[in-house]
Amino acid sequence: MIRTEWRTSSPRPVAVVWLDRSDKKNAMTPAMLDDLSSALAAAAERAAAIVLVGAGSTFCAGFDLTLCKDNADALRQLLIGLSRTIRLMREVSVPVVIGAQGAAIAGGCALLAGADVVVTHSECRLGYPVVRLGISPAVNAPFLARSVGHGHTREKLLGGRIFDGREAIVCGLAHELAPTPEQVPGLAMVIADRLAVKPRSGIAATKAWLNELDGCDGWAERALSASLALVGTSEERERLAALRG
């Protein structure tokens, strides 16, 4: 469900990590997030830049909630895995570029706040519609707040509204629009190629300093705890159980 390819056209090694469960809109399972973390860590060993993209028409529909309806522990594992993956994207010394086409919802959208550069398209559907399921998106809040500011973060996490790629550019969550959904992964790869040829010392020092400046890694554990605290509560269990499908 996670697959790593290496760019053959790039002069420096660029790893392309695919979310590859397109029949389920790349909805994430605990195992998939474990594999994603491992793939990112392995790629960082020799890549000069990393691309994260989704196979098929949807970047990522979020957590596979069908696994969580009768199993609170699966939801716990998903939240822990998501937190680890976002932190890892920031910790690696090379730039991480995400290309998100179609939709990036909930946990899928949370991944975006961990990347250094985000490519999408104007009609892409994005958002964090999870409070209505009794799930707290707190796990992503420190990263989103640093990325788009506190005003946008409040509105997007508390309101849970779906917004489009144009709005993602305006609020600063995304940085580049591809003309069509199909061109999103390709554009993300081209941007990664350009980042990969830049001198390593400057890039690594700049990324580390930006991580230190925005200081959100220090909040990651607390944010995860806030999300985990709701898992297994009657509100969360009842709302997930009532979910169709």
Partner 1 sequence: MHEPATLTITAPIATLTLSRPEARNALSIDLLQAMHARIDELTHRIAFSSDVHVVILTGAGKSFCAGMDLKQVLDTPGAPLQLLTLLSTFTVKLRMLGAVTIAAVNGAAIGGGCGLATVCDLAITHADSKMGFPEVDLGVCPAVVAPWLVRKIGAGRARAILLRGGLMSGREALAAGIVNECVETLDELDTAVQRLATRLAVGGPNALRATKVLLNELDGSLDAAMANRGAEISAGVLATPEAQAMLRAKLG
Interface residues with partner 1 (CB under 8 A) are 95, 113, 116-118, 146-149, 172-173, 175, 191, 194-195, 198-203, 205-207, 209-210, 213-214
Q: Of 200 and 222, which CB lies nearer to partner 1 in the complex structure? A: 200
Please answer whether residues 108 and 60 qualify as being in contact, where contact means their C-beta atoms are separated by less than 8 angstroms. yes
Q: At closest approach, how far in Å is the CB of 211 from partner 1?
A: 9
Q: Of 32 and 52, which CB lies nearer to partner 1 in the complex structure? A: 52
Residues whose CB is less than 8 angstroms from the CB of residue 24 and which lie 6 or more positions away in sequence, other chains included: 61, 64
Q: At closest approach, how far in Å is the CB of 70 from partner 1?
A: 37
Q: At closest approach, how far in Å is the CB of 195 from partner 1?
A: 6
Q: What is the dihedral of CA 94, 100, 106, 110, to 10 degrees?
A: 20
Neighbouring C-beta atoms of residue 56, cutoff 10 Å:
16
CA-to-CA separations, 41 to 30, 182, 209, in angstroms, rounded:
17, 27, 20
Q: Of 115 and 135, which CB lies nearer to partner 1 in the complex structure? A: 115
Q: At closest approach, how far in Å is the CB of 50 from partner 1?
A: 12
Q: Of 194 and 239, which CB lies nearer to partner 1 in the complex structure? A: 194
